[in-house]
Amino acid sequence: MTVPQAEADNEVAAPELGDGHLFLNALGEIGDVLALKQYRVNLDPAPSIPILPCLDHEALLHEGIAPHLAAYVRDRAGHLHEAVWIPKELRIDIDVASTMNENTPDAQAKFVAALSVRFPDHQIHVTPVSWLKGDRRVAHACRAQVTLRDVLTGPDLDRTRRAVERLQVISSLMEKESRVASWSVRTIMTPFLALVGLLIIWSLGTNAGAWWVIVTRYALTLVGIFFLYAGLKAVHLTEMANRVWKRSAEYGLILSERHRLGD
């Protein structure tokens, strides 16, 4: 093998960090690993469970994210959890939003304690539900059509697949609605900014302390704040619509893997 070829092979192999089987063996002592989301972590040989790429980070198209392996786990009591193992940082994140309403606070505390025993050198971090990101709204929109439990363990794959397809249609409509709101704000902002510029030029030749100038400034400020709020809300809706779509895509991949594995 030539030196350039060896360097090229190393460039490909470098992101493959950690041995995912160490993580899976430890999780197997806590419960059943139902599915995996892989990002640049070694899993050779691959276990006979659904394995899909980490859509959130593969879509970012850059290498600044630490390799990690996320696992959906069903504990002995039947509660579902998602644990994200980041070997490079010796950290395990517990994603609460993805398994909302699929476990109890007591079950989650026991799961964190079990991980702490099996990974004493790792930092266990529970990612809280974010109001700013709209975690609850995304979870409620998804659960209205299909539950994570049905996707991971439901016996009727055809019925679950139809529910996931409905969720994908709804997420597409959500994105279109957010785009309509965004373009509405942009359309109105152009003449509004032009009006503001004209009024500023007009007020330069008049008494700046006149009552109508002060009232006009306050009115334009309030209208500008409203448009800013509407624009940020449209961006927020777009982000939530994208997350619902990614959730539906993830569910679809899990169902395809379950079908391939003959589940």
pLDDT tens by residue, the chain, 263 residues: 443 443 334 333 333 445 788 899 999 999 999 999 998 887 888 889 999 998 877 766 666 788 899 999 999 999 999 999 999 899 999 999 999 999 999 999 999 999 999 999 999 999 988 877 788 888 999 999 999 999 999 999 999 999 999 998 998 888 777 766 666 666 776 676 666 666 666 666 666 666 666 777 777 777 777 777 777 777 778 788 888 989 999 999 999 999 998 86
Alpha-helical regions (H) of the chain: 3-13, 20-28, 55-58, 105-118, 135-143, 148-153, 157-204, 211-260
Can you tell me the distance from the alpha carbon of 64 to that of 245, in angstroms, rounded to the nearest whole number?
A: 24
Q: Residue 155 falls within a domain, yes or no?
A: no
Same domain, 24 and 83: yes
On whether both 113 and 223 belong to a single domain, the answer is no
Query: Cα–Cα distances in Å, from 226 out to 8, 133, 222, 233?
Result: 53, 21, 6, 10
Structure confidence by residue, pLDDT tens digits, 135-183: 888 899 999 999 999 999 999 999 999 999 999 899 888 877 776 666 6
Same domain, 240 and 177: yes
Q: End of a domain among 128, 151, 185?
A: 128
Q: Same domain, yes or no, for 9 and 123?
A: yes
Give the range of the structural domain holding residue 185, as residue numbers without chain letter: 167-260
Residues 116 and 230 in one domain: no
Same-domain pairing of 118 and 193: no
pLDDT, averaged across the chain? 82
Residues 89, 174 within the same domain:
no
The domain boundary, picked from 112, 128, 144, lies at: 128
Q: Are 148 and 98 in contact (CB under 8 A)?
A: yes
Contact 179, 161 (CB under 8 A): no
What span, in angstroms and rounded, lies between the C-alpha atoms of 186 and 183?
5
Does any domain span residue 150? no
- Residue 28, domain member (yes or no): yes
Q: 123 and 199 in one domain?
A: no
**Per the domain annotation, does 103 fall within a domain?**
yes
According to the model, what pLDDT value does residue 64 have?
75
How does DSSP classify residue 47? P
Tell me: do 190 and 250 sit in the same domain: yes
Q: Count Cα atoms within 13 angstroms, Cβ side, for 137.
A: 15
Domain boundary among 98, 128, 158: 128
Q: Which residues pair with 95 in a beta bridge?
A: 127
Residue 158 lies in a domain: no
Q: For residues 94 and 174, state if they share a domain.
A: no
Structurally, how many domains does the chain consist of? 2
pLDDT at position 10 is: 37
Does residue 50 lie within any of the structural domains?
yes
- The answer to the question of residue 146 being in a domain is no
Position 209 in a domain: yes
